[in-house]
């Protein structure tokens, strides 16, 4: 780390002191999350040498097979954030119910939600995975914290971010005033600021979607992708490129860095389910980051950040990224709804 580099700790203290943007308790919360991410990173890095790869034979609340690392990452985040006095409760993809801070610790004013290890189908094949997190304020006057206190629209998030475990360990963070990127300096053991005020290019020629589900998509999504695939000969008049890593953290990171659209839309495989991804700890934090970087995030005609959650583990359709493309997707959904209603 060079002398003039800025560590995450220093950057957070400056946000608190100079810019008055965050209270000390939120700074401590983010530091604890970052510390937990470093520990998860070490577990991920050790791969098969640690003896903790593979499935547990159990399922989480979503009915998905749990990997040993999913559970370890979950435990690391719970343990790291329990005692600091900044939280009232936590919720996780891996826990059916919320985790209320035990009475032996002081209770704080924030709620933390996370997907401890996103993209865990990629663990064994050594492809980038990550942790996604979202922070809400607990409403004032609440005595006993319950799951319903987490059911706030995403626009009320006070902080959101993710950490990727890949070629680089990178923490991407918003406190609601733009997006900053920190890369882990492994020798120093600290996250170092590498980008501030990140902006997503407004137009793009790249999309990310699992094409194997094409036959199940709704007409507006099909229309958008068909037009991309038609390339220079189609209505878009340009060729598009496609990428799909199957780790939302990695796909969204690419979109934030060089533009593009990421989509996991509703599809007919499970018509009663809004989508595959979870609203509170996957869609919302990514939507806030993308919008803070000048992009847009929608579920169809509705902005993701405006969805009023009704359940802790509810799903959402997700379409996010470069503003011009996501506006176009929203228009296609509006036109389809109008024609269906006519």
- Interface ranges with ligand AHM (CB under 6 A): 64, 93, 115, 118-121, 210, 246-248, 251, 264, 276
For Mg ion, the closer CB: 15 or 68 = 68
> Which of Mg ion, ligand AHM, none is residue 334 near (CB under 5 to 8 Å by kind)?
none
For ligand AHM, the closer CB: 109 or 206 = 206
> Which of Mg ion, ligand AHM, none is residue 43 near (CB under 5 to 8 Å by kind)?
none
For Mg ion, the closer CB: 116 or 259 = 116
> Which of Mg ion, ligand AHM, none is residue 247 near (CB under 5 to 8 Å by kind)?
ligand AHM
> Which of ligand AHM, Mg ion, none is residue 210 near (CB under 5 to 8 Å by kind)?
ligand AHM
Rounded to a whole number of angstroms, the minimum distance from the CB of residue 225 to Mg ion is 23
> Which of Mg ion, ligand AHM, none is residue 15 near (CB under 5 to 8 Å by kind)?
none
For Mg ion, the closer CB: 12 or 280 = 280
For Mg ion, the closer CB: 240 or 281 = 281
Terminal Cα-to-Cα distance of the chain (whole angstroms): 62
Round to whole Å and give the CA distance between 332 and 224. 8
Strand order in the sheet with 296-298: 241-242, 206-208, 261-264, 318-321, 296-298
Rounded to a whole number of angstroms, the minimum distance from the CB of residue 250 to ligand AHM is 8
> Which of Mg ion, ligand AHM, none is residue 275 near (CB under 5 to 8 Å by kind)?
none
Give the closest residue to 264 by CA, choosing from 325, 319, 323, 334.
319
Residues across the chain: 342
Rounded to a whole number of angstroms, the minimum distance from the CB of residue 30 to Mg ion is 20
Distance of CA 91 to the CA centre of its chain: 14
For ligand AHM, the closer CB: 58 or 210 = 210
Cβ atoms of residues 269 and 214 within 8 Å: no
Rounded to a whole number of angstroms, the minimum distance from the CB of residue 270 to ligand AHM is 12
Q: Of all residues in this chain, which one has the CB nearest to ligand AHM in the complex?
A: 248
For ligand AHM, the closer CB: 15 or 122 = 122
Round to whole Å and give the CA distance between 280 and 155. 11
Instruction: Give the pairing type, strands 261-264 and 206-208.
Output: parallel
Q: Three-class SS of residue 332? A: helix
Binding footprint of Mg ion on the chain (CB under 5 A): 115, 118
Q: Three-class SS of residue 108? A: coil
Round to whole Å and give the CA distance between 222 and 149. 37
Round to whole Å and give the CA distance between 195 and 163. 14
H helix or E strand, kind and range, residue 72: helix 68-82
> Which of ligand AHM, Mg ion, none is residue 120 near (CB under 5 to 8 Å by kind)?
ligand AHM
């Amino acid at each position: 780390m060079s002398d003039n580099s800025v560590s995450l700790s220093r950057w957070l203290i400056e946000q608190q002191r100079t810019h008055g943007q965050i209270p000390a308790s939120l700074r401590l919360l983010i530091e604890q999350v970052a510390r937990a991410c470093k520990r998860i990173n070490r577990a991920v890095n050790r791969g098969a040498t640690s003896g903790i790869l593979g499935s547990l034979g159990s399922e989480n609340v979503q009915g998905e097979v749990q990997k040993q690392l999913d559970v370890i990452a979950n435990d690391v985040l719970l343990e790291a954030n329990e005692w600091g006095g900044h939280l009232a409760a936590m919720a996780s993809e891996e826990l059916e119910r919320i985790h209320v801070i035990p009475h032996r610790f002081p209770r704080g004013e924030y709620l933390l939600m996370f997907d401890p290890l996103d993209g865990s189908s990629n663990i064994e094949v050594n492809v980038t995975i990550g942790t996604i997190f979202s922070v809400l304020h607990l409403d004032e006057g609440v005595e006993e914290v319950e799951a319903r206190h987490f059911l706030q629209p995403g626009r009320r998030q006070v902080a959101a971010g993710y950490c990727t475990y890949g070629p680089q360990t990178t923490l991407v963070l918003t406190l609601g005033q733009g997006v900053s990127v920190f890369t882990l300096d492994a020798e120093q053991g600290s996250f170092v600021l590498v980008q501030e005020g990140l902006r997503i290019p407004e137009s793009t020629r790249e999309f990310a979607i699992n094409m194997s589900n094409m036959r199940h998509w709704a007409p507006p999504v099909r229309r958008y992708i068909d037009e991309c695939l038609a390339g220079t000969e189609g209505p878009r008049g340009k060729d598009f490129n496609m990428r799909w890593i199957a780790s939302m953290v990695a796909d969204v990171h690419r979109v934030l860095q060089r533009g593009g659209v990421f989509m996991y839309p509703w599809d007919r495989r499970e018509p009663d389910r809004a989508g595959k991804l979870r609203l509170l700890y996957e869609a919302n934090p990514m939507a806030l980051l993308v919008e803070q970087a000048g992009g847009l995030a929608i579920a169809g005609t509705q902005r993701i950040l405006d969805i009023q959650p009704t359940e802790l583990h509810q799903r959402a359709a997700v379409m996010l990224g470069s503003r011009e493309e996501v506006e176009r997707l929203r228009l296609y959904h509006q036109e389809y709804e109008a024609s269906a209603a006519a």
